[in-house]
Amino acid sequence: MSLNQLPPQKAGCVSNITLLGRGPSWIECPLKGEIWGTATCLITDGLKDINYSKVFAFDSPLIPSVRNSLDAALERNIPVVSNLNYATELFPTREVAREFRCVYLKSSMSFMIAMAIYSGYTKLRIDGIDQGPNWHYALSKPYVTFWLGVASGRDIDWEMGKGSLTWMYRLDKHNMAEPFEQTDNDLVQLAI
């Protein structure tokens, strides 16, 4: 694989894309059509054998899970989209900044959603982004919701698996975040 700048796919692009993280709700994903994943999906049981068209990574290659993911991508000839030097396809940061007049990006999923919008996809399916209880994932929520708002503003249809929509957190007696599923939106305030 060579290092390439990703060209926009806007002209005539009317396709669907599935964006997949490795949160527990990935199990709800129908796993059909074109699939982009976070790079660590390549080393996660149940996810590693999926046919990804590309994976996204934005963390240090010194982290063992990232290094192992990059090795798996290289072995399977799967393009790695990033803005770091291990990228086989550069994330088009300048082009995205010009198009959207911002670069509000943090988590791999926020980069994936921005890239899908920029590339002209008309329908997004998102699974496996159960954001928490790890603080790093909780901090990623605003970035993901921002890009979903951009998609909505551009009349791009998007849907999430139920688990990615209903995952919430409350503090237990030791002030540790504990995940729980809240299916009744009217009870959200009571759960917090």
Query: How does pLDDT run across 101-125, given as a tens digit for each residue?
Result: 999 999 899 999 999 999 999 999 9
pLDDT of 33 above 50: yes
pLDDT, tens digit, 9 for 90 and up, residues 52-76: 999 999 999 999 999 999 999 999 9
Give residue 142's pLDDT band: very low, low, confident or very high (50, 70, 90): confident
Q: In what order do the strands lie in the sheet with 54-56?
A: 4-5, 89-90, 80-82, 54-56, 35-38, 16-20, 123-127, 157-160
What predicted TM-score, i.e. pTM, was given to this entire model?
0.80
Name the residue with higher pLDDT: 184 or 144: 144
Of residues 58, 107, 130, 129, the one with CA closest to residue 87: 58
Q: Which domains does the chain have, with CATH numbers?
A: 4-167 (3.40.50)
**Cα-Cα-Cα-Cα dihedral sign, residues 84, 90, 91, 94:** positive
